[in-house]
Amino acid sequence: MKFSTPATTNPIDQMKVLGRPFDRIDGPAKTTGTAPYAYEQHEAAPNAAYGHVVGAGIAKGRITSIKLDEARRAPGVIAVISADNAGALGKGKFNTARLLAGPDIQHYHQAIALVVAETFEQARAAANLVKVTYAKEKGAYDLAKVKGSATEPKGENADTKVGDFERAYAGAPVRLDATYRTPDQSHAMMEPHASIASWEGEQLTVWTANQMIDWTRGDLARTLGIPKENVRLVSPYIGGGFGGKLFLRSEALLAALGARAAKRPVKVALSRPLMINNTTHRPATIQRIRIGATRDGKISAIGHESWSGDLAGGQPETAVMQTRLLYAGAHRMTKMRLAVLDLPEGNAMRAPGEAPGLMALEIAMDEMADKLKIDPVTFRILNDTKVDPEKPSRPFSQRRLIDCLRSGADKFGWKERSAEPGKKREGRWLIGMGVASAFRNNLVMKSGARIRLDGKGVVTVETDMTDIGTGSYTVIAQTAAEMMGVTIDKVVVRLGDSRFPVSAGSGGQWGANSSTAGVYAACMKMREAVAQKLGMDPAEAQFAGGAVSAGGKSVPLAQAAQGGELVAEDAMEYGDLDKKFQQSTFGAHFVEVAVDAVTGETRVRRMLAVCAAGRILNPKSARSQVIGAMTMGLGAALMEELVVDTRTGFFVNHDLAGYEVPVHADVPHQEVVFLDETDPMSSPMKAKGVGELGICGVAAAIANAVYNATGVRVRDYPLTLDKLLEKMPAMS
């Protein structure tokens, strides 16, 4: 099914089940510990052996010798895999060639061997007996030092220019030129990268923690050099991903190689240091922002340049993308530059591009408002735009940024904010408020589903969509219930299996909108099949209360399947919608902080997010997504940083003891408001994504609140107390 125009009669608009705050239907299984995660598929893969990954001890160079004999002789060892005996490995679409290294080493902890043994302890002990010698090479580990060698990416990441930025900026009566830095960050999800692999002849099954089933299935087949149809991936439950499980990673490939060598199932889970130094992370950025404005606050020139690094052949952190779309300004420029760094791969982490980009842009907007002596909310409203500033002929399908800012300011009590920084105190605590706009593009992906109807009136949905803790099971069940006119307890949802139709997968905040649109398409086909089976006109048939009605008669839905199960399958495609409309989501974040005037300790007291993100399919699960994203934004503002040892090229704080993330005691009162909105241009669901919008702008809102509290402007994240202390106002 192709979606190109709004449906005139859309059964999803009944809103009897959809749009209601249903509890997560996977909740009981997860809270009772009965949901089988990848590493726990004991019954599906009995008698599994254990694999332990050996990571490279250097960041750049070559293996000159690797001695495996002592490990092979260790108790319980079944097989030892290295590049020497793994066989030829192909290259997938997503950098799979580097998942097993040898002899060349590209980054620290790059996998160089897998030891398979009867028990985990035996595998780990034997892995310590692998003897490796290296020839080290000088690597590049410091973005600031290699910034000058960075190059312009191609394609959509190339430079953009509208008007004459340099001339307009030079001539602007009020100007800002500031540089901001964001650090490397880790996904730090609870569940590790974990997989179990099992071969039956030429058929490979991998139970894995992965967000994108079809991507990973294809890459695993290409890497192993086997037909894609010979590979099955199963991932029904995922304990968090945030982009870190989008792609095939070393543990899944090595589990497959280990199982082939051991001739039995093999399970592999990465330790936390290997997760951080062996997989992907959000790369650091250096960002320069220049804004020129008239004295009455209208932006005349805006330029955003960003530098980031990655392994050779990698991609930049797209931190300038929101600046191309968020604010008006006749003269514009964006540039990204990519340097080669010999650190672990930089790649997608929740809201890649916009999350770190807004960490800089939204401080810059506050700094500019301060220069202009204009309220920060008012300044943002003054510079709103209803069209794509780089392509004025392309309107936004929906754009309610002003509504988010105004309603948020009213609800948060913004008028109580002191316009002069450092003036509001409660004893030794300095109190401040901050604001930031939230922006994230609304991406849509082709997504398919299969619907089954049995003789009891039970509707079963099958799609390879994944649930990474986002509520996919529930919103898909709600969609099917709405479309087929049944209660949600009459719907069974089966996810995360490559035998099911290919879905959008979980990423880019496209998952809920796209996957439910695929379910919508399959349900439309099922409705037609049911009506025809019951001798009704499909155009007139109404599905409600577990029955189908048309032409004055009503028949139980189950009756259509009395002669045997009915099956329907379809997918939703989007044509050229993205060329006709700019589809984005918008929001506003408001934060209040208290900063200890003596120690510089910062405490976030309360947070408000106002979101305009199309139809909200389930307010309860959507709120959960947004408050989780707000919490990640708090971490990005105040504590999260992967510290690079620039001498040896690895992340020093590569565990959850050293890499700080917010805990319950750090998280204040959080409130989320969803504007009543539908976007018929987005999909038949009229929904958009929201899970990544919630992090966009949060860190900047906190930084702006800290400035309002203290008068200290920090442009280098995270805002640790050492960056505040020397400039704090004196206690009176």
Per-residue DSSP letter, 561: G
d(CA 691, CA 244): 15
CB-CB neighbours of 456 under 10 Å? 9
* 345, 482, 573, 692: the active-site residue: 692
Two tokens at 651?
A: 């992340």
The helix (H) or strand (E) run that includes residue 272 is helix 272-278
Q: Is 692 a catalytic residue?
A: yes
669-674, strands of its sheet edge to edge: 425-426, 429-441, 584-596, 602-612, 669-674
Two tokens at 38?
A: 């990848």
Sort 251 into a burial class: Cβ within 10 Å, 0-12 / 13-18 / 19+. Answer: buried
d(CA 320, CA 333): 10
Cis peptide before 36 (omega within 30 of 0): no
Directed axis angle between helix 698-710 and helix 354-372, to 10°?
30
55 contacts: CB under 8 Å, gap ≥ 6: 108, 109, 110, 111, 112, 273, 274, 277, 278
d(CA 496, CA 15): 27
d(CA 165, CA 301): 6
d(CA 583, CA 398): 7
Tell how strand 566-572 and strand 447-453 pair up.
antiparallel
3-state secondary structure of 166: helix
The alpha-carbon radius of gyration of the chain (Å, integer) is: 27
- Give the catalytic positions in this structure: 692
